[in-house]
Structure 1
């Protein structure tokens, strides 16, 4: 699984959860800002964020451990991608 492809998928899943067309249709070649939070970018509530994590756990066969649910991990797609990739290669994010 390559990082760029994973990030693209994570954005697609998040955009699919929102009703706002502006989040789904971006100008050609323009990607979402890497440092924008899921709340700011997709209008996620805390329940949306929880649902999103459950979808990611099932899709990528990972587990978001309570101690790993930090702002750094959950703030952005970049943090989520790092977490998922670390789990896929057997690194424990909570030990870093």
Structure 2
């Protein structure tokens, strides 16, 4: 699975979870969208979403890796998941 496919799937999962229709947009537009802005995630929604992602993709979100970049930027989230799947360190820098 490449990053564009993963981003699309991440959006589809979030859309199903929040019952928000996924509009017809380009892959580039999907990569730029914030999960909070697009789906109105509360903090509880975000935690539930992470649990769904851990189960779906067989990854673990380590506490120290749960940065704003990883949690709210769909591109950063996809990079994190792909890095977990390949065994590489996450490329997302911590946000302070």
Judge same fold: TM > 0.5, yes or no. yes
Change (3 A) 1:14 1:59: same
Residues 49-72 of structure 1: per-residue CA shift (max 9 Å, x gap) = 000000000000000000000011
Residue 42 of structure 1 corresponds to 39
Q: Which runs of 4+ in 1 moved over 6 A?
A: none
**Which runs of 5 or more residues in structure 2 are unaligned?**
none
Name which structure has the greater RCO, CA cutoff 8 Å, separation 6+: 1
Aligned length: 90
Q: Whose radius of gyration is greater, 1 or 2?
A: 1
**Which runs of 5 or more residues in structure 1 are unaligned?**
none
CA RMSD of aligned residues (A): 1.8
TM-score, normalising length: structure 1:
0.83
